[in-house]
């Protein structure tokens, strides 16, 4: 049981995924004995409909100098952020001097376009290695967690922002109340806040339970976001589905009564009510689907093991930590997992201790089967690895159903 991060009401867990290590806790052999574990449970607030983790990991354990996730790791994400920057510049940046702030700016991939166009900007991110990478890319960055105090300091040093951006970040910030107060302080009257995160509707529809892990404290919906923002003088004025990270929603907000809400907001809210997206019973039903998915995936991989097939994993995503640990998939099932991120290579997966190796290992020789753990990048990866398919290799997926991908 925990107090809802948005409204303070009691939230009970409806989903239990057992003991879990840190999703990005890729570790060295010598650290096997000292891994951190917590109970991965999630529930929905009966009062405001916000789906959230009900046990929390201290932020310093997750976001630090060795944080391995890099936005620029995917071509699709780079294109997506260039398009977002273009949309913001065309629709939301006032003429003349404007100021753009990105919260959770990571390696600067999104702000790079603004920096290149000479727009005054600031990235805020707590991970030292990411701030260094962003600075090297010409993106001005502040190494700090974003909260009310950070917002006040930015405003007194640099003034309020015309546009505040955040991508795959707000679902990571535990203190939603301090976040919203900070946003209200930082946002110029008439300015816009644009953020996107994995969407609860897509997670449930696709059975993507691997979106549930320590860093994703929240699984937002249009209903829960509207309610959260409205208690802080902000108003949701737009909501647009975006096809990244396995299904996300882009939320556009402003200071209350400053901008007319798009009819899309009310339409999404109606759809969510019809689909029960604000009802805790939704998550209880989801747990049954998760358990079914686990049984099928484990049976599938056990069969391949018995047949002596060579199976590897593709993409050591944060999401994969949930699936591998919940299903008990280890080095017996997957010989290794290939990943493009240098910081993950040479290490072992959290909890399950599967070696993570550079992509060059994938075709030497090609495996019989590859478990596509980076399923949200399926199009990009299947195109890149067309030789694997041509050589008879098979992709295993588990979202939305366990099976072989038709290529
Ligand atoms: P991603 O799915 O973006 O996020 P999360 O960690 O939030 O679940 O992670 C993608 C991972 O997959 C990242 O570690 C890089 C890796 N990857 C590859 O190894 N090859 C590829 O072609 C792509 C697109 C990603």
Q: pLDDT tens, 204-231?
A: 999 999 999 999 999 999 999 999 999 9
Q: Encode burial over 65-84: b for 16+ CB neighbours within 10 A, e otherwise.
A: eebbbbbebbeebeebbeeb
Tell me the C-alpha distance between 213 and 23, whole Å: 6
Out of 23, 25, 63, 74, mutate this one to test ligand 1's pocket (max ligand atoms within 8 Å of CB): namely 74
Q: Residue 209 in contact with residue 17, Cβ under 8 Å? A: yes
Cis peptide before 149 (omega within 30 of 0): no
C-beta of 296 in contact with ligand 1 (< 6 A): no
Model pLDDT, residue 119: 95
C-beta of 191 in contact with ligand 1 (< 6 A): no
Tell me the C-alpha distance between 238 and 267, whole Å: 11
C-beta of 319 in contact with ligand 1 (< 6 A): yes
Model pLDDT, residue 37: 97
Please give the span between the terminal C-alpha atoms of the chain, in angstroms, as a whole number: 44
Residue 124 has pLDDT above 80, yes or no: yes
Sign of CA pseudo-dihedral 126, 129, 243, 86? positive
What's the chain's average pLDDT? Answer: 95
Q: Residue 88 in contact with residue 194, Cβ under 8 Å? A: yes
Model pLDDT, residue 59: 81
C-beta of 317 in contact with ligand 1 (< 6 A): yes
Q: Residue 234 in contact with residue 339, Cβ under 8 Å? A: no
Model pLDDT, residue 70: 75
C-beta of 23 in contact with ligand 1 (< 6 A): no
Residue 89 has pLDDT above 80, yes or no: yes
Residue 63 has pLDDT above 80, yes or no: no
Tokens 């398009």 sit on residue? 83
Residue 1 has pLDDT above 90, yes or no: no
Q: pLDDT tens, 3-39?
A: 999 999 999 999 999 999 999 999 999 999 999 999 9
Residue 69 has pLDDT above 80, yes or no: no
Q: Tell how far CA 30 is from the center of its chain.
A: 29
Contacts of 95 (CB under 8 A, 6+ apart): none
> What is the position in ligand 1's atom list of the atom closest to the CA of 74?
24
- Selected residue with higher pLDDT from 69 and 386: 386
Distances (CA, A) of 303 to 296, 306, 308, 310, 311: 11, 5, 9, 12, 11
Residue 68 has pLDDT above 80, yes or no: no
Residue 191 Cα to ligand 1 middle (Å): 33
Residue 74: pLDDT band (50, 70, 90) is confident
Q: Encode burial over 30-60: b for 16+ CB neighbours within 10 A, e otherwise.
A: eeeeeeeebebbbbbbeebbbbbbbeebebe
> What is the position in ligand 1's atom list of the atom closest to the CA of 210?
8
Residue 193 has pLDDT above 80, yes or no: yes
Residue 343 Cα to ligand 1 middle (Å): 12
Model pLDDT, residue 62: 77
Model pLDDT, residue 290: 98
Model pLDDT, residue 96: 79
Model pLDDT, residue 5: 97
Q: Which of 305, 298, 350, 355 is nearest to 329 (CA)?
A: 298
Residue 407: pLDDT band (50, 70, 90) is confident
Model pLDDT, residue 6: 97
pTM: 0.94
Residue 402 has pLDDT above 90, yes or no: yes
Residue 384 Cα to ligand 1 middle (Å): 13
Model pLDDT, residue 71: 74
């Amino acid at each position: 049981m925990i107090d809802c991060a948005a409204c303070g009401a009691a939230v009970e867990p409806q989903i239990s995924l057992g003991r879990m290590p840190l999703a990005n806790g890729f570790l060295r052999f010598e650290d096997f004995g000292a891994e951190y574990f917590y109970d991965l449970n999630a529930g929905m607030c009966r009062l405001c409909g916000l789906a959230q983790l009900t046990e929390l990991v201290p932020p310093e354990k997750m976001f630090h100098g060795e944080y391995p996730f890099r936005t620029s790791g995917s071509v699709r994400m780079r294109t997506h952020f260039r398009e977002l920057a273009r949309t913001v510049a065309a629709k939301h940046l006032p003429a003349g001097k404007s100021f753009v702030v990105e919260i959770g700016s990571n390696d600067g991939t999104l702000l790079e376009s603004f920096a290149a166009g000479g727009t005054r900007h600031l990235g805020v991110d707590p991970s030292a290695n990411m701030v260094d990478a962003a600075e090297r890319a010409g993106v001005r960055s502040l190494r700090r967690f974003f909260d009310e105090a950070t917002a006040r300091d930015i405003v007194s040093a640099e003034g309020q922002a015309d546009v505040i951006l955040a991508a795959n970040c707000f679902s990571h910030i535990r203190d939603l109340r301090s976040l919203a107060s900070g946003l209200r302080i930082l946002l110029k009257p008439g300015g816009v806040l644009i953020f996107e995160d994995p969407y609860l509707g897509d997670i449930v529809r696709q059975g993507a339970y691997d979106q549930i892990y320590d860093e994703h404290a929240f699984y937002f919906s249009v209903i829960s976001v509207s309610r959260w923002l409205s208690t802080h003088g902000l108003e949701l004025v737009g909501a647009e589905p975006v096809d990244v990270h396995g299904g996300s929603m882009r939320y556009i907000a402003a200071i209350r009564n400053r901008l007319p809400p798009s009819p899309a907001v009310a339409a999404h809210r109606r759809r969510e009510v019809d689909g029960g997206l604000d009802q805790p019973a939704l998550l209880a039903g989801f747990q049954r689907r998760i358990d079914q998915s686990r049984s099928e995936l484990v049976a599938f991989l056990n069969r391949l093991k018995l047949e002596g097939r060579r199976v590897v994993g593709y993409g050591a995503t944060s999401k994969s930590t949930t699936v591998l640990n919940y299903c008990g998939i280890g080095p017996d099932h997957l010989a290794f997992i290939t990943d493009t991120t240098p910081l993950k290579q040479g290490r072992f997966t959290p909890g399950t201790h599967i070696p993570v190796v550079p992509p060059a290992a994938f075709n030497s020789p090609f495996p019989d089967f590859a478990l596509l753990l980076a399923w949200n990048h399926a199009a990009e990866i299947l195109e890149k690895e067309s030789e694997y398919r041509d050589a008879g290799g098979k992709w295993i997926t588990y979202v939305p159903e366990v099976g072989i991908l038709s290529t």
